[in-house]
Amino acid sequence: MTISRLDDRNVTDPILRAYMRQEIMTKAMSYDSDLLTYDILADEIYRPELIAYRIWGTGELRWVVTLVCGLEDECDAMEEGTEITVPTLAWIREQINTFSATSPEIPGSLYAS
């Protein structure tokens, strides 16, 4: 099975994947000027892949939408009209690359050298 380069499963260590997801949430909740904002539409309440496609041009980042919306399962409904803020595609890809490295440097963790 081949997974997309944008799939969070590229970070094979579950602890590192949790750190990466935490970084994404921290970025999404920051007030950085490079964040993207999006309002969830009626046809998207059960479709995180559609939201991801409309934001980044790919449905592969549906896991980011689910994460930012605070959902445990991609099948759960999101509330129509909710505004979400998400990082750019380039920033997310950089995080996946950083955390999937063989020896990632994660400041403030046991993985820092």
DSSP 69: T
Res 110 pLDDT > 70? no
Closest alpha carbon to 47 in 86, 80, 10, 5: 80
> What is the pairing mode between strands 83-86 and 36-39?
antiparallel
Break the chain into its structural domains and give their ranges: 8-97
In tens, the pLDDT along 60-97 reads 999 999 999 999 999 999 999 999 999 999 999 999 99
Kindly tell me the burial class for residue 50, based on how many C-beta atoms sit within 10 Å of its own C-beta (0-12, 13-18, 19 or more): middle
Per-residue pLDDT tens digits for 16-43: 999 999 999 999 999 999 999 999 999 9
pTM value?
0.86
Task: Judge contact between 3 and 9, C-beta under 8 A.
Answer: yes
